[in-house]
Amino acid sequence: MKAHAILAKEFIADEARTDWHDETLWFIRQKRDKAAHTLPEWEQLRQWASEIKNHTLSKLDEYLVEFENNARQNGVMVHWASNGDMHNQIVYDIIRQHNITRVVKSKSMLTEECHLNHFLATMGIEVVDTDLGERIVQFRKEPPSHIVLPAIHLTKQDVSDTFHQHLHTEKGNADPLYLTRAAREHLREKFLEAGLAITGVNFAIAETGGFVVCTNEGNADMGAHAAPVHIACMGIEKIIPKAEHLGVFLRLLARSATGQPITTYSSHFHKPREGQQMHIIIVDNGRSRQLARADFRNSLKCIRCAACFNTCPVYRRSGGFSYHTAVAGPIGSILNPNLDLKSYSDLPFASTLCGSCSNVCPVKIDIHEQLWKWRQVIASEGQVAPAKKLMVKGMAFILARPALYRVAGRVGRWCMRYLPFLLNHKLNPWYRQREMPGPAGRSFRDWYIKNKKQ
């Protein structure tokens, strides 16, 4: 797998497209700002959301059991999966029990994380993603590049070409209304054919055993209401204690995600309807390990709004695929090292630590501070490239010795002045697209000794 820096460089090679990607996501960040500024109590809401989540994480075991008991009493079948494979197997077993071959699925980042579609495809089951953006990338055999806007890396024309190929729409017709209608017709058929609907879960309420699924397209509802079997997949961190807490989270979620006051559909599921079977799969997949890490525990507060993606100056210019994982962006950079430190050791360095992510986060996760802390873990686990480690060690050696630092500075400045070719070449990543700083004749310290020291 190529590292983030290389994938980012490849993305930026098409500068016009990079600008378009950056501006599209910045527009969403601005919509979020506007929505936040209409609520004078915005910062208070963030504080409440953070505290509710902190509290919940501190008693997660109790709330999960409370949720399970209440859901069971409502007639829902509850399953537990300690990892992605087990989750996938549970889904497959339910599908087999009912001899189902056609499955529809609304947006669920958890199933992306577990690679459910791939697993089911190898078992001969067709899963149709019913979120429009997810359906587009599914046609293209791509993963989502953004957790809320899965096809944000594609232009209207790209979508038109994809639909022409898969849905036989007119070649070159990139009218959004026309394309949406074509998708709708196609998806309606899939909803009617499906024997089973999979949805995600945005919030699972311990005191009621109910859960809430938020979409803008109503596709989760369409799937769950038409199919005889509904499976809702959730990570253990989706729990909130009480239904009244939804008043905090639903107000924050859509405003943070897209700048809407609320998602178009915020659907509350409590029990299976007459003749329907409803399952909930509660998945750990590394979350309890993260819960045990004091420095990184509060990353589990995340409600997957993607505000940190939209504000991140790195994400906007490198695209979702540069993070080579299901959950990209700043939050992905602090979640993924927990799942596989070696494979994702590049991600905490894909940041300038500017801190904008922490500021937009509706549940106040200290994302940029956790990026810094992951860097410490990565270095101590020996996952920093040897050349970089050597460079840092050299810096540390010089900067620890004031006299040596002064000599090194003098030699460095002399070389910059008289032997510029030593540095001014394309192997120096600074010089590739930037001039070196003009070398000062003398250091500040030398000036001070000459002019000020009594």
Partner 1 sequence: MKIGLFIPCYIDQFYPPAGIATLQLLEKLGCEVVFPLNQTCCGQPMANSGFANWSKACDENFINNFRGVDYIVSPSGSCTLHIREHLHHDQNPGEAERIRHTVFELTEFLTDILKIEKLDARFPFKVGLHNSCHGQRGLHLSSMSEKVEPPFSKPGKLLAMVEGLQLTLPSREDECCGFGGTFCVFEEALSVKMGKDRIKDHARNNIDYLTATDSSCLMHLEGILRRQKSPVKIIHIAEILNAPGNG
Q: Classify 237 as helix, strand or coil.
A: helix
Binder of partner 1 out of 317, 341, 343, 415 (CB under 8 A)? 317
Minimum distance of partner 1 from residue 328's CB (angstroms): 14
Find the DSSP H helices in 273-385.
Answer: 287-291, 307-311, 313-318, 329-339, 356-360, 367-380
Minimum distance of partner 1 from residue 331's CB (angstroms): 15
Minimum distance of partner 1 from residue 239's CB (angstroms): 27
Minimum distance of partner 1 from residue 284's CB (angstroms): 28
Evaluate the CA torsion angle 283, 286, 292, 295 in order and state its sign: negative
The owner of tokens 């979020």 is: 32
Element (H, E) at 63: helix 60-73
Binder of partner 1 out of 31, 313, 415, 423 (CB under 8 A)? 313
Q: Which of residues 385-424 bind partner 1 (CB under 8 A)?
A: 388-389, 392-393, 395-396, 399-402, 405, 409, 412-413
The neighbouring-strand residues paired with 283 are 81, 235
The neighbouring-strand residues paired with 233 are 281
Our CB check for partner 1 shows the closer of 100 and 408 to be 408
Pairwise CA distance, residues 199 & 451, whole Å: 72
Q: Which of residues 260-279 bind partner 1 (CB under 8 A)?
A: none
Q: Which of residues 199-218 bind partner 1 (CB under 8 A)?
A: none
Helices and strands of the chain, counted as H and E runs: 21, 10
DSSP codes of every residue in 367-431: HHHHHHHHHHHHHHTT-S-HHHHHHHHHHHHHHT-HHHHHHHHHHHHHHHHH-GGGTSSTTSTTT
Strands (DSSP E) contained in 39-168 are: 77-81, 102-105, 126-129
Q: Which of residues 369-388 bind partner 1 (CB under 8 A)?
A: 372, 375-380, 384, 388
Minimum distance of partner 1 from residue 43's CB (angstroms): 5
Q: Which residues have a Cβ under 8 Å from the Cβ of 13 and sit 6 or more positions away?
A: none
Our CB check for partner 1 shows the closer of 80 and 431 to be 431
Number of residues that bind partner 1 (CB under 8 A): 74
Q: Nearest to residue 57, comparing CAs of 373, 371, 363? A: 363
Binding mask 39-58 for partner 1 (x = CB under 8 A): xx-xx---------------
Our CB check for partner 1 shows the closer of 123 and 436 to be 436
Q: Which of residues 113-142 bind partner 1 (CB under 8 A)?
A: none
The owner of tokens 């005191």 is: 207
Minimum distance of partner 1 from residue 150's CB (angstroms): 23
> Which amino acid is located at 296 in the chain?
F
Binder of partner 1 out of 15, 61, 189, 340 (CB under 8 A)? 15
Our CB check for partner 1 shows the closer of 65 and 392 to be 392
Q: Which of residues 339-358 bind partner 1 (CB under 8 A)?
A: 349-356, 358
Using CB under 8 A as the binding rule, whether residue 20 contacts partner 1 is answered as no
Pairwise CA distance, residues 231 & 108, whole Å: 11
Q: Which of residues 272-311 bind partner 1 (CB under 8 A)?
A: 311
Our CB check for partner 1 shows the closer of 106 and 351 to be 351
Minimum distance of partner 1 from residue 374's CB (angstroms): 8
Binder of partner 1 out of 24, 26, 77, 415 (CB under 8 A)? 26
